[in-house]
A = this chain, B = another copy of it.
Amino acid sequence: MAADRFIAVTGGVGGAKLALGLTQMLTPDEVAFIVNTGDDFEHLGLHISPDIDTLVYTLSGESNAEAGWGRRGETWQFMQAMKQLGGETWFNLGDLDLAMHIERTQRLRKGATLTQVTKQLATALGVQFAVLPMSDAPVRTMIGTANGELAFQHYFVRDRCAPAVTGFRFAGASSAAPTREIETRLDDPALAGVIICPSNPFVSVDPVLSVPRMRERLKQLRAPVVAVSPIVAGTAIKGPTAKMMTELSIPNDADSVARHYRELIDGFVIDTQDAALEPAIAALGIATVVTQTVMLSLADRRQLADDVLRFVRRLNANA
């Protein structure tokens, strides 16, 4: 059998769009997702895994397409009651979404791993694809800012990405490890390539790479690693990537993202709007594909997934 299994590394909303496209082109046997858990946090006594939930809701058809996050048909009675009680309300927790956090927290307390719980909950929502937390150990993305270090959700949600970013730290990473489920897939001789979804390189992908052995394992793979630029025409489709790059004095260009991933990737996918950057990226020794990467419709997601898969297969055949 030809090598035709894939791993995709993803954060939240932006990455989940391509992930959905990939699930339209591949079977659950053919693609698994490694998901950022660096923005997981404990809130109101609950273990919240925003990126895992975004992916699970997206793949199960439970996501709220209008809002771009959270669940379809979500209601906010709990939040209203919390406000009335004087509780913390800076992080929105929908009535449906709460079930995920409460059930996850319960199962973790009873001793299950995050990998096991994620599999159980995803399966309950009808997701057959493997949704793999980057680690079962806590790794927490901390944002260095001019006002001091902030936990990711404090920076991202509570403070709405306002503080200027000075750097990042992945607390706990040194004592984390890739899970057996991830190791097994990286060892799979049928692995045709790894796709880094168009997620924030600093706070969605780098946390995954901060897990010990992860970066080295990806570098040493025989199969190609391909990233899709989250920066198009100098701006981020979603989230604070471009703002962070400005604050870190990194040019807001797709080729800066390519340079960021330089030691890791074999190929890089950029948008047609950034076609002029192709020579600069090629000069880094990175193969490129130029295509439409902005995913508005489901057809866009399928098309980008198809383009990326062709690219990975081509690189793999040439490897």
A96-126 contacts to B (CB < 8 Å): 96-100, 102-103, 105-106, 109, 120-121, 124-125
Number of interface residues of A (CB under 8 A): 31
Q: Which chain B positions have C-beta within 8 A of A74?
A: 77
* Bound CA span A280–B102, Å: 53
Chain A, range 179-207, C-beta contacts under 8 Å to B: none
Binding site secondary structure of chain A: helix
A75 cross-chain contacts in B, Cβ below 8 A: 75, 77, 95
**Contact B120 A95, beta carbon cutoff 8 Å:** no
Is A78 within 8 A of B98, CB to CB?
A: yes
- Of A27-35, A81-89, A215-223, A290-298, the one contacting chain B is A81-89
| B99, A87: Cβ atoms closer than 8 Å | yes
Asked whether A1 is an interface residue with its Cβ less than 8 Å from the other chain, the reply is no
CB-CB under 8 A for A99 and B85, given A75-B77, A106-B44:
yes
Residue A80 CB within 8 A of the other chain: yes
Does A148 belong to the interface (CB within 8 Å)? no
